Structure 1
Amino acid sequence: MTTPPDKDRYHFLTLENGLKVMIYHQPQQAASYVSMAIRGGHFYDPQDCQGLSHLLEHMLFMGSVHLPNPNQVNEYIENHGGSMNAWTGAEYANFHFNCRSEALPSVLPAFADMLSSPLLAPDSIEREINTIESEFQFKLKDDLRRLYQIHKETCNPDHPFSKFSVGNADIFNRFETTALKAKLKAFHQHHYCASNMGLCIVSPAPPEAIKELVSHSFSTLPAGQPVSAEWPALYTAKQTGVQINIVPLQAAKRMIVTFALPGLHNEYKTKPLDYLSHLLGDEGEGSLLAVLKRKNWVMNLIAGSGIEGDDFKDFNLSFQLTPLGLENRDAIIAHLFAYLELIKSSLNESWRYQEKAKLNRLANEFDDNPKLLNAACDYAQALLFFNYDAIPQLKCLSDKFNPQKVEYALRFFNVENMRVKVIDQALPTNRTSEYYHAKYSVSSLSDDSRNEYFKHETDDALTLPPPNPYLGEDYSLIDVESKYLTPQLLTPDQNKKIWFAQDEQFVTPKGDIFISFDVPGFTDEIRSVAAKRVWLAAINDYLQAKYYRAEIAGLHYRVYGHQAGFSVNTRGFSQNQMKLCQQILETILKFTPPKDSFSRLQHSQLQSLHNSLMNKPTNRLFSRLSVLSQRNTHAPLALFNAVQELSYEEMVEIKDNAFSSYFLEGLVFGNWRSEEAKEFTHSLNTLFSESNESAIPRAVAQLPVGAPSYHEVICEHDDAAIVLYLQAPSSSLIDTAMCMILEQMLAAPFFNVLRSEKQLGYVVGTGYVPHNQHPGFAFYIQSPSFGPEYLLSEVRSFIKRQFDEINFYRAYWPTIQKNLLKQLEEKDLSQSMKAQRLWLALGNGDNTFSRNAQLAQQIHSLTFNEIKQYADAAANREKFGELILYAPGKFEGLSGDFTHIADITEFKQKTPYFDKGN
């Protein structure tokens, strides 16, 4: 077994009460990350009160002995530079937070108090039932949640996975509040005890100091008794070998082929399922995906996902289908079984496994952006299943090939062990799911289908991946040149700007290259934007198979559109990256998509745009806010119509004409010598000699001050929603700082008053929302119970009351100031994050890369009296432009005499725009 390079950073202890603890020492980090796993997920819910574990999760935020007020623990952690969240899963619940490391001695005892001593106040129970009901209503039109419920109804009813995990008001209100409190208390006492809990702390603090802190915080936790974790089989014999037809709300055509497995994902020494996912999910030439795409059957394939528990695992292969693929789904499964046979025949070829192990080692060794909170959650749960010796090995892969383990896993990949979900709006069904009312049917796989799966001989085009040509041998570091520690312009041409910088902060052989094109021919009218969208889809489709090997070798790329044109971003190991970037750029300039792929790509974009129209109301409103605020951004419905009317010939003509004139700007940042960057820049000058345009301004609509505009968005959802957006008068430092400060001040009270106290909805919050660097902030609510008129009146009342009583926040100002300064002065956590920050600064015209420092200085120098004067002017409607977006849902819309934006195009033609430098 491979020894993890950081094995010495893992420290374990078990408290006298039985609490298992892992400390993962990360000396380079500024923050600490904490997670507690509890063997108390929804599998343990009483049959007569399903969702009880979820309700208890909510109740733990509603006050404890030492922090008795609702959400007080959240505010306490936020005041120490962090945030907190939780989830309730199948077998486990998890509570997790991050904070400044120096605050851990203060925050960890509060966390322990929250988990061990909840108040379970009756009035809070009643409020949280309403909150969970709002959450339930919020998800009623979520296709993933509907699919999940059908999954539950088609498994073994004696298995606890079949329980309804969310809960709702109908279930909880069957009990008197006192009886429900007794159930919550009993569940808490039974599960939230040391023998059923595992704690992981990732921190730069000395491990011995953390051990002492953990002992002090959690030693009084009752020991309790370990709960039983033995379940019957997830599926009966009649529930495999079946096809399940499902009618979705979104315009999706999918097929999910599931193989029911035992807990093979826990085979940490050999990880056979990782190896199979690696091969089945391959996207290179000759792969299952590449062959099915060439037949115009499939648009995408994801391998390996699926529900899992301690002793069971669903291995899913999810195919995104074309209409032709839906008709040929038996043939698709035949190709899958043919590919599985190829894998079986290759089990004596150990080099593939060893290559995968090398890829994993490189990824772990040079991971410059570890997701430490996620890691803390994973490790906390692992403490309740694995012994301490195993845990450091969980993220490694053995370099000793064990074909017997892979062969054993493959025995479960057979028809009798298979479930096929087919998802399309036109399928015949005969059942309706409980709670979410989704239409579905279940039938045994027919003899004709079974015969079809094995009738075809192996497609000659199907091949297993060859040795990876992008797997480098030299990952050495360059000598840094002092001249290039900040980005320097390598091109004198004002129509083509390439910046270059090296990095001395992160010792890693990696880098990022950004190349952005502002193209008038892709922005001048909506049909041009539609053509760009389909053309970019064609580019990505072509590159997917060609450069998939580069992706898995740590050389990543993105080609994506933006409001002024499109961009290319490559990142990862610096070796071979410039070559990869140049090859992608040459493809972009010269590639003309084949006509026979146009209908598939057009269909994919139409489906994506149509599905965006089915998003949650708040998502739709924020999307529309961007459309109204930014000159060159278009609404999905308008784009849908333009893409639908687009012909192949038009797309090619628009693409060819667009490249006659453009502006190019780029950044090369990372582990390259200046000579390499200059040579790369020279190649770009040669390749893109037509760059003769100026940058396209990212214009922002200027909303009138004190005279709000209203815009209605019709959504296919019963919930009502509103967004009240306040736009700053300019993008100056003072206006930006004030927007950030006011949003921070109002965020917690807005959530507490309108969500926790008044129970207006599940989705309630505020956000700092700049558009093209122009500052603003928003208040939003989505509600199943109240219409937009009532929601808007509550938001307006809240804002007026808070602005009128701004003096209340005087005591909080030092903490808010400290947190904002911490955010602005926070060091980059990875080389890639630093590259993103520098690139964003260049895009915003900040060639000195000092705007955050200037903002920090502005916030540092502000007095509360200055904030009060600004808030007073805002209260008198003398500061902000206002835009109210709303979705009525099942309620009445807004009525009254107000400025209504009915036509987006007309609004954009008539509205004034801020100059970029304003």
Structure 2
Amino acid sequence: MSYLKSTFVFLFVLQLSACAWLESVGLNSAKFGIAGESAAVAKPPSDQRAYRYTVLENGLKVLLISDAGADKAAASLDVNVGSRQDPENYQGLAHFLEHMLFLGTEKYPEAGSYQAFITAHGGSHNAFTSFEDTNYFFDISADSLEPALDQFAQFFVAPLFNAEYVGREVNAVNSEYRARIKDDRRRELAVFKAQVNPAHPFAKFSVGNLQTLHSDNEAALREQLLAFYQRNYSANIMALTVIGRESLDELEAMVRPKFSGVANRERQLDAIVAPLFKAGDLPRWINIQPVQNRRSLSVNFPVPDAEPHWRSKPLNYIGNILGHEGEGSLLSVLKSKGWADGLSAGESLNYQGGAMFGIEVALTEVGLKHADEIVALIYQNIAQLRAQGVERWRFAEQAGLAIQGFLFRAQPAPINDVVQLSMAMQKYPAAEVMRAPYLMDDYQPELLAEFLAAMRPDNSFITLVAPGVKPTIDIPRYQVGYSKRPITQGELAAWASGSSKALTLPAKNNFVASDFSLKRGRGESKPVPVPSAAPIELWLNTDDIFELPKAKLYLQLATEKASSDAESLAKTEMWLRMVKDQLNELTYPAQLAGLDFDLDVDWRGIEISIGGFNQKQGELLAQILAALKSPAWQENRFARLQAQRLRQFENAVKQSPYQQLIAELPRMLNHENPGLAAHEAATRKLTMAGVAAHAKAVLESVQLRMLLDGNFDQQDAQQLAKLVTKVLPVKPSPTKPMQHISQLSETNTLREIAAEHDDSAALLYLQSAETGKQARVAMGLTAQILSADFYHQLRTRKQLGYVVSASVYPQREVGGLIFLVQSSVVDAATLQAEINQYVKDWLAAGVDEATFRQHKASLLKRLAEQPENLWEAAGRHWQDLLENYAEFDSREQLVQALNALSYDDWLAAAKRDLGATSQRGVLLYAAGKWPNHLPVGKPVQSAEEFKANLPAYSFK
């Protein structure tokens, strides 16, 4: 597949051009408001919001979006400055500044006030630092935008950068670095940075740690911080996007005075002129020893900067063809030889002045032995594209689907939208900030040839990642070893001259939709049952809200046989993996044409889901069902997929400690979810014959349930139901599966996870003593009230670690709460003590009724929020159907329960569920480098042991 995600993966059947396609299906760009005055922001026809682009007197670019029906407001400010600007002797400074900016301003000096305000008003916030950008963003209840913006703006007007927080926050940066020290992608990046031209700013260490930020001299670090801010944080290289329910005039009146105070220091950013690699550095082959059991081979090429050619998108075009997964593709050929599990292609690095394009292959164990042959095939595929693939119809195909993707764009959540748009304003003309990522209206074959000409064997940076390679060079910062493999002139010549008859370029895509007419619903917004002669429970919601020619189809094959124990779950998983792999070549064009599908298994049985343009969903469903019923049982495919699954189990225990604790918790609570060791053992014992027999038995007795949500009508629903029951003429199962959730006792239970990491970690899960809606909302309200303070106390003030959070964790009707910390500075016993002390102090300090009312009102607004798009709406409906809310009113019931929750009742529940003597909880922990400093409690050795000794709540 392409590195470039669905927004950029465009293939469409066209003979002449994107404009010709638009006319052929009755769509005209002017008709849909995507051509016109340059001052207007081009937007899709389904987008009913109002837009205004303006530039403040200080040069700050602003995009205002008025959405009268919005439940959530959001804002993002992008600074066109990142780790590229780090001083050589203070690497990581841009990232450190991002951390410090949250810790108080002249107008709002309290360090945790911004986070507390956002949380108290139903919002979230974050920031990130990249090579050329630093982006700050938040969302919040729509009626609280103005005060949130006032606090947000002060980050860029008058931050304090208090000296008292310098030492604390540099420890947080160091903890962030330490938390990912065994992340293979970070380690591979460290090796890459060691290879590039030292004069290129990408060679710098962007994260930062105690050493590079000189934590032993806090005064000097603060001076550097202030100088960096004064030099680089300038209004003329900032872009702000704000979404609110207010009118455009009201939004501008809100934004202009708040952000006009941002200083314009007239910062100018020149393109990077130093080459990424010095003359003579390429070709180069690097072997890297990974932490996880993974094998990958990548070939990357430095290429010109593609950003100025955004109307042609040469790297998108090349990546879409080389990353294709259909018949005759590079991946298809590699899979047929048993050498690869996956492949991706596309732009792997971009910066102002240059870029890199790469092809990465996920290798099998057999494929590792054929690395040179795979490299040769990559060059042969590029040569084939160079000779045959630069064709107008191929470009038009991609361009047409690009426009289609824009015209029928599903509106993302506001917080995602503002981040994308604020960054887009740094790249594209104001009128094109929404459309530019999709636009391909300038076919330049000579430009494509120029980029392809750079993709030569002698201009290659090759990386092989595999266990067992022999490192000769170490990078201590990430504890990674690597070696350089010489490349001979004979190898270069052989790679450049070969050819493969098996490789073919993609054919035209026959899965593209051409019918974009909209079905009319009943004016309601929830599914209704549809009568069907077939033995299937059928539900339909014809959408009248989002008005897109798209839909979501869910089909459940409910049966206990699919996952009653570790063995049956492993067999069902392997069966579905076989089916998906078999379908990949056939369905990949469908995915490129806007149709996604998935096959999954859980305690209820098997679930099929399809999403995208509704016109071709029936064709895709027929293919999925046929393969599910009669897979092509091939031993080589089975062996490859089984080995791939076993590697996933092996790698699961090498993830960061906090990730392993989060993954282990549902295994402790859900009786139908087997422990990791049991699941792996069952997978290891599988045979293809056993899986085939299991698949046949599962399909003999299931209950069928289907939901169609979106641009379907009753006739569509009945036809699809008929298709399902024709392909799967099943005998209905007499019983429905049941879910069992552990009912915890008042015992301090411990479960150690043996993570291969120096950091310690602790996750405390507390379960409500009562079940039902009121217990759930009480626990949810508790989480909202204390989450920001827990983060501030344990991360900002005490600096226990980078990963610190408290959040609600409901399981059906069982309320729950988790406290999570990962630390590089203290042991798990200390983390347990700190979490327990925090809970004790929080209960002792109490929460007044006014705070309770404020957070209750905020949570009520969050529960009442409407879906942002068709996919979220369909997901809610399906979840309600699965959990037996026939009126699709689970949220309404939670709102009713929260409205009925009094201050006294909530306080009593909080004291009961969080009190030291009445807690029903379990502590999961990783000891890290402190194996002799362990938490206190009753240990259990496995999830099975834990669940075997507990009663369970039961749910259908």
Task: Give 3-state SS (helix, strand or coil) of 1:547's partner.
Answer: helix
Moved more, 165-174 or 832-841: 165-174
CA distance in 2 between partners of 1:448 and 1:690 (Å): 64
In the TM superposition, what is the alpha-carbon distance from 1:84 to its structure 2 partner? Answer: 1.7
Aligned: 1:688 with 2:688: no
Aligned residue identity for 2:704: L
Q: 2:42 maps to what in 1?
A: 7
CA-CA distance at 1:151 after TM superposition:
1.2
Compute the displacement of 1:314 (Å).
1.3
Q: Are positions 1:299 and 2:341 aligned together?
A: yes
Which residues of 2 match residues 906-917 of structure 1 at below 5 A? 906-916=945-955
CA shift digits 1:648-694 (9 cap, x unpaired): 22222322333332333221222222122123223333423223242
Q: Does 1:539 align with 2:574?
A: no
455 and 536 in structure 1: CA distance in 2 versus 1, 3 angstrom threshold: same
Q: By how many angstroms is 1:174 displaced?
A: 5.3
Of residues 751, 754, 762 in structure 2, which corresponds to 1:714?
A: 754
Distance 1:860 1:553, change over 3 A: same
Counterparts in 2 of 1:403-552, with a 5 A limit?
A: 403-459=445-501, 461-481=502-522, 485-488=526-529, 490=531, 496-552=536-592
Selected match of 1:853 from 873, 878, 892 = 892
Are 2:912 and 2:919, in contact at CA under 8 Å, matched by a contact in 1? no
Q: Specify the SS of the correspondent of 2:75.
A: strand
Compared CA separation, residues 330 and 728, structure 1 to 2 (3 A):
same
Residues 362/204 of structure 1: CA separation in 2 closer, same or farther (3 Å cut)? farther
Judged with a 3 Å threshold, the aligned counterparts in structure 2 of structure 1 residues 803 and 688 are, in CA distance, closer, same or farther, namely farther
Indicate how the Cα distance of structure 1 residues 233 and 696 shifts in structure 2: closer, same or farther if over 3 A, else same: same
In structure 2, distance between residues paired with 1:657 and 1:739: 42
Are 2:279 and 1:237 equivalent residues in the alignment? yes
Separation in structure 2 between the aligned mates of residue 903 and residue 383 of structure 1, nearest angstrom = 52
Structure 1 segment 284-363 matched on structure 2, within 5 A? 284-347=326-389, 349-363=391-405
1:474-516 residue CA offsets vs partner (Å, 9 max, x unmatched): 11012324699533154599x8533222222221121111112
Deviates more, 1:867-876 or 1:739-748: 867-876
TM-score scaled by length of structure 1: 0.95
Pairing partner for 2:666 from 596, 602, 626: 626
Q: Which residue of 1 aligns with 2:73?
A: 32
Structure 2 contact 565–672 (Cα < 8 Å) conserved = no
Deviation at 1:393, TM superposition (A): 4.8
Distance in 1, Cα, partners of 2:352 & 2:236: 17
The alpha-carbon deviation at position 750 of structure 1 amounts to: 0.8
The 8 Å contact of residues 255 and 422 in structure 1, kept in 2 or not, is answered as yes
The aligned counterpart of 1:262 is 304
1:885 Cα offset (Å): 1.0
Q: Secondary structure at the match of 2:885?
A: coil
Give the C-alpha shift of residue 563 in structure 1.
3.1
Hey, what's the Cα distance between the residues in 2 that align with 1:484 and 1:735? 28
| Corresponding residue number in structure 1 for 2:623 | 583
SS at match of 1:306: strand
Q: Does 1:119 align with 2:119?
A: no
Q: For residues 837 and 253 of structure 1, what CA distance do their matches in structure 2 show?
A: 38
**Residue 641, structure 1, aligned to residue 676, structure 2:** no
Partner of 1:272: 314
| Contact in 1 for aligned 2:809/2:817 (Cα 8 Å) | yes
* Native 8 Å contact 1:720 1:890 kept in 2: yes
* In structure 1, C-alpha distance between the alignment counterparts of 2:884 and 2:666, rounded to whole Å: 21
Q: Unmatched 5+ residue regions in structure 1?
A: none
Question: What is the one-letter code of the residue matched to 2:952?
Answer: Y
Kindly provide the amino acid, as one letter, of the partner of residue 487 in structure 2.
L
Query: CA separation in 2, counterparts of 1:604 and 1:266?
Result: 40
In terms of mean alpha carbon deviation, does 511-520 or 184-193 score higher? 511-520
2:174 matched residue in structure 1: 133
Contact between 1:77 and 1:99, CA under 8 Å: does it hold in 2?
Answer: yes
Deviations 1:158-197 (A, max 9, x none): 1111111111112334552222211111111111122332
- 1:8-407 superposed matches below 5 A: 11-26=52-67, 29-173=70-214, 176-231=217-272, 232-347=274-389, 349-370=391-412, 372-388=414-430, 391=433, 393-407=435-449
Q: Retained in 2: the 8 A contact 1:887–1:893?
A: no
Residue of 847, 871, 885 corresponding to 2:924: 885
Shift of 1:313: 1.0
Which is worse superposed, 111-120 or 333-342?
A: 333-342
2:775·2:814 contact (CA, 8 Å) conserved in 1? no
CA spacing shift, 1:26–1:155, aligned 2, 3 Å:
farther
* Structure 1 contact 116–192 (Cα < 8 Å) conserved: no
SS at match of 1:828: coil
* 2:820 paired residue number: 780
Partners of 2:807 and 2:140 in 1: how far apart? Answer: 20
Give a deviation string over 1:441-489, Cα, whole Å, max 9, x none. Answer: 2244233432332353232x32222221111221101232469953315
When structure 1 is superposed on structure 2, of 683-692 and 860-869 the one drifting more is: 683-692
Whether the 8 Å CA contact 2:560–2:736 is kept in 1: the answer is: no
Asked if the contact 1:574/1:672 (under 8 Å) is kept, the reply is: yes
| Two-structure CA RMSD over aligned residues (Å) | 2.3
Q: Secondary structure at the match of 2:805?
A: strand
Higher relative contact order (CA closer than 8 Å, sequence separation 6+): 2
- Give SS of 2:955's match: coil
1:816 is the counterpart of 2:851: no
SS at match of 2:349: coil
> CA deviation digits over 1:20-55, x for unaligned, max 9?
223345556443332222233112111111111111
Aligned-residue offset at 1:899: 2.9
SS at match of 1:633: coil
Question: Residue 888 of structure 2 aligns to which amino acid in structure 1?
Answer: F
CA displacement at 1:521 relative to structure 2: 3.0
Give the secondary-structure state (helix, strand or coil) at the position aligned to 2:796. helix
The answer to whether the Cα contact below 8 Å between 1:626 and 1:771 also exists between their aligned partners in 2 is no
For the residues of structure 1 that align with 2:115 and 2:57, how far apart are their CA atoms?
A: 29
| Deviation at residue 571 of structure 1 after TM alignment | 1.1
Which residue of the partner structure matches residue 653 of structure 1?
693
Residue aligning to 1:565: 605
Distance in 2, matches of 1:897 and 1:835, equals 45
Task: State the secondary structure of the residue aligned to 1:226.
Answer: coil
CA distance in 2, matches of 1:49, 1:678: 65
> 1:239 is paired with a residue of what secondary structure?
coil
Structure 1 residues 382 and 613, CA, compared in 2 at 3 Å: closer, same or farther? Answer: same
SS at match of 1:234: coil
Q: Counterparts of 2:523 and 2:63 in 1: how far apart (Å)? A: 41
1:593 equivalent in structure 2? 633
Normalised to the residue count of structure 2, the TM-score between the two structures is: 0.91
Q: Does 1:902 align with 2:944?
A: no
Which amino acid is 1:528 matched to?
Answer: S
Q: Judge conservation of contact 2:840–2:915 (CA < 8 Å) in 1.
A: no
Q: Which residue of 2 aligns with 1:862?
A: 901
Letter in 1 for 2:254: L
For residues 455 and 440 of structure 2, what CA distance do their matches in structure 1 show? 23
Aligned residue pairs total 913
Unaligned runs of 5+ in 2: 1-17, 20-28, 35-40, 44-49
- Partners of 2:888 and 2:423 lie apart in 1 by 42
Residue equivalent to 2:912:
873
| Distance change in 2, residues 1:483/1:138 (3 Å) | closer
CA distance in 2: counterparts of 1:528 and 1:102, whole angstroms: 50
Q: Offset at 1:773?
A: 4.6
CA-CA distance at 1:900 after TM superposition: 2.2
Q: Distance in 2 between matches of 1:408 and 1:212?
A: 48
Structure 1: distance between partners of 2:290 and 2:777: 45
Deviation at 1:905, TM superposition (A): 2.8
Aligned partner letter, 1:575: Q
